Chains A and B, each alone.
Chain A
Amino acid sequence: MPRLTRFLALLAVLAIVQPVAVAQAAEQVVISDGHVDLGPRFADGQWTVQLRDDTGDEPKWRALSDVVLHVAEAAKTAVPDDPAYDFLGDRGSPIWVLPQVEQDGVVWPGWNTQDPEVTAAIDREVTWRLHGVRGPGRFVLFLSGNFGAPTTIFTSTATTPQETGIEVGTHVHGNWVFGAPGTYLLDLEMAASTKDRGEVADRRVLRVHVGDDTDPRSAFDVAVAEPEQQAEPAPEPADSRWWVWVGLGGALLVVAAVVVVVVRRRRGER
């Protein structure tokens, strides 16, 4: 991608991330840098998997449908020449890694069960399930342990659902690995038993966009078949949204969108 268009795409991202203070709760954001956590909370009393966004001045819980995690090009590396990492792909092949430990310039996603209502209500642990992955390449979530020995939590190379436990009141980070650029949809569920012997569960899709060659915002256009009982709140009226976009320099967005469309077409022709 020529430098100028990348610059425009970046501007577009900035424009979208900026209006936190202006827009209402249902704004859609692309997060490319800083700390976020997946986790359950009782949103309006309803057990819901959300994303805690710590990239602004104040932490903010967002609906997964309003977020794209953008894996910037800075996250690109290669599968090491070490048999311990063969589960990530062929040695030397490119991978995009969001590491367990914070790295400048890439988003740092973790997961936590620390919401006070959650710690008060849930017994022992939350079960975290991966129901499926849609995307252009391999997806692996793993932990680096003592002396770096990797432990896989989820991998798209095995059958789903897969599950792991998250103790209540904990906050964990892992290594998120993607094998090719493009949009990934991670179909995730968090379930738990409550202390009063009830059951809670919620299943949502997390969008991840890998690489800088295409607009991460395009990930919002990838349709998700959401289960029926999880109807999203009614979208904002189209005109108010339009107003926000104009306020941010809609022309710029349109330019970026055109570039993206062209790039995608070319890929499609191959």
Chain B
Amino acid sequence: MHVRAFSRATGAVLAVLLTACNATAGGGAADGVSVVATTEILADLVRNVGGERVRVDSLVPPGGDPHSYEPVPADAKKVAGADVTFTNHLLLEEQRLIKAIDANVREGTPNVSLAEASETYGAHVIPLVENIGLDVLWLGLRVRGDGKDKGATRSSEVRLAATALDGPGELVVYLTEALGKPVVYFDSADEFSDVDAATLPPAAHTHLNWAFTKPGVYRLTLAASLLNGNGSAPVPLGESTFTFAVGVDPTGVAGTVLNEGHTDLTVDLDTGGLYTLNDAAGGTNQRQVVPAADAVIEVPNKAIATVPDDPRFAFLGAAGATVHQLPQAVLGKHVHGEIDPHLWQDVRNARAYAELIRDTLRTADPDGAEIYDRNARAYLDRLDELDGYVRETVARVPRERRHLVTTHDGFGYFAAAYEMTVAGFVVPNPAQEPSVEDVRKLSETVRNLKVPAVFMEPNLAQRASVLSQVAQDQSVGVCVLYGDAFDDKVHSYVDMMRHNADEAARCLA
């Protein structure tokens, strides 16, 4: 919860430690600088920057999982003997490991959390998603404009009626009121009629749940009319057909894919007509209008929800059935202040790590500054080349096939940096056990998207058994992506990222 505050504190402490170190030690440069890093990946980055001048030990053993590795007494000894200690942190490593390090680092030696401090070197960070079911588009209904030229007043109302649905299943649009009571607005199950309508005052908007009973492409037609009251006839405001890609890839269905931020299906009282009005995530592109015919609303497989055993929700289907549902509220999808720790899956972030490692080593061992500068320059060039290679390789996979299904949620940066999507994973964190529902959701994801392969991490064998079973049931391939560790085939960060790019291209193309 307080990671960011902690990160700033770490930065401050780091500065103090570095100064202290400068003033006192000068680093045991005569017999080389001794560095401890938690994972093999970090150790490899340090080796590339430090070269012959540093001796690097990693604590998590080769092939080990940093999320679950617990320290042994020998680790404390290694840390106590180190001139510099590097962790990734941001809750990547098991907490006991971080505590053991913090308790044993020699006073005056730098103890650097790379993920937390690398932001000042331009690393791009992604907030940690806590509830992936909420990491979806927030879809509502809106009335825009005052409609004065059509005789609208503040007491007028706009009626939005669902008139047709074309798709493989049913759509229910409903609202759960503050104290848990659901109110249905549109329900296609019993054919649309006069009751399938919502009424909003001018300039109002509302948020609703959009539940689809089967995956596939849906087209929903909404007709709007203005009610000025006092028995005057409704003024027709036009109708539009909105498209939804439910559980299937939206590429090619329409020009603009709406899959994040906030969108309202909007009636415009002034111009007449209905369109989508969009606030993209992150505050850019505020209030962008996309005509209904040019937009496809993505309802991804992470929006799969199980119908509760509560008679009030029987309109969604039998208890235990699944629906794809865009929820009426999406706040709470992120853990406040927490960041996804797997930064190195974006090569540009590894670049920031390398620069931070360089500056840390320089300060701890000023006599080696020139060497660290030279090594870092060469390594940064290699990383730039690697970034280009990964980008070009992944780009060869057609956009609609760039879906990653993995053992744990460790590839968010890879997906964001190289334009893929994380379609699903067995569990968010490998230290967790998947529930029956998690496994079912994963199977549906693989089936709905028709992904040609899923990806296991070699160091997560137990999790891979769930993934392999799903892959076997769905007759798709199992490929390998390196996440948090190397194995006997891959021993360096550069090799690991090249492999990941090649494997994604080979298995998905």
Chain A interfacial positions (CB closer than 8 Å to B): 35, 54, 77, 79-80, 82, 84-85, 97, 99-102, 104, 113-114, 116, 118-120, 124-125, 127, 143-148, 150-151, 163-175, 177, 193, 197
Contacts and interface: CB of A to CB of B under 8 A. Distances in A.
Interface string B252-294: 0000000001100000000000000001111110100000000
B179 A97 contact: yes
Contacts, number: 119
B47 interface: no
B257 to A, nearest CB: 19
A114 B279 contact: yes
B286 A144 contact: no
B349 to A, nearest CB: 16
A119 B283 contact: yes
A116 B282 CA distance: 11
B206 A102 contact: yes
Contacts of A171: 262, 279
Given A82-B180, A84-B180, A101-B177, A165 B206 contact: no
A151 B176 CA distance: 13
Contacts of A164: 336
11 contacts: A84-B180, A99-B178, A101-B207, A102-B206, A119-B282, A119-B284, A147-B310, A169-B283, A170-B331, A171-B279, A193-B4
Given A85-B179, A144-B177, A144-B178, 17 more contacts: A54-B203, A100-B207, A101-B175, A101-B207, A114-B283, A114-B286, A116-B286, A124-B127, A147-B310, A148-B182, A164-B336, A167-B127, A169-B281, A169-B284, A173-B329, A193-B4, A197-B120
Contact of A165 (B201, B262, B325, B337): B337
B204 to A, nearest CB: 6
A100 B329 contact: yes
B248 to A, nearest CB: 21
Contacts of B325: 146
A120 B204 CA distance: 26
Nearest to B203: A54
B281 A144 contact: no
Interface size class of B (residues with CB under 8 A): 35 or more
B206 to A, nearest CB: 5
Contacts of B262: 170-171
A193 B331 CA distance: 20
A170 B281 CA distance: 7
A167 B134 CA distance: 14
Nearest to A124: B127
A146 B178 contact: no
B176 A148 contact: yes
Contact of B206 (A77, A101, A169): A101
B329 A145 contact: yes
A145 B332 contact: yes
B192 interface: no
B328 A167 contact: no
A113 to B, nearest CB: 7
A125 B305 contact: no
B50 interface: no
A146 B180 contact: no
Interface in B173-202: 175-182, 201
A134 to B, nearest CB: 24
A177 B178 CA distance: 10
The binding surface of chain A is classed by DSSP as mixed
B133 interface: yes
B265 to A, nearest CB: 16
Contacts of B313: 147
Contacts of B203: 54
Contacts of A146: 133, 209, 305, 325, 327
Interface string B428-439: 000000000000
Nearest to A118: B283
Given A101-B328, A146-B133, A127 B179 contact: no
B334 interface: yes
Contact of A77 (B179, B280, B329): B179
A104 B204 CA distance: 11
B308 interface: yes
A193 B329 CA distance: 25
Q: A119, A151, A167, A193: which has the most chain B beta carbons within 10 Å?
A: A167
Contacts of B310: 147
A176 to B, nearest CB: 9
Nearest to B4: A193
Contact of A147 (B205, B206, B308): B308
A169 B206 CA distance: 18
Contact of B329 (A84, A102, A116, A143): A143
Given A77-B179, A102-B206, A145 B327 contact: yes
B179 A80 contact: yes
Contact of B178 (A113, A175, A197): A175
B336 A144 contact: no
Contacts of A116: 286
B180 A172 contact: no
A125 B127 contact: yes
Nearest to B205: A102
A220 to B, nearest CB: 26
B272 to A, nearest CB: 21
A139 to B, nearest CB: 15
Contacts of B308: 147
B337 A147 contact: no
A128 B280 CA distance: 22
A204 B368 CA distance: 52
Contact of A85 (B176, B180, B204): B180
A37 B180 CA distance: 24
A174 B336 CA distance: 17
Contacts of A175: 178
Contact of A168 (B177, B179, B283): B283
Contacts of A119: 282-284, 286
A51 B327 CA distance: 27
Contacts of B181: 148
Interface in B302-324: 305, 308, 310, 313
Nearest to B339: A124
Contacts of B175: 101
Nearest to B207: A101
B331 A169 contact: no
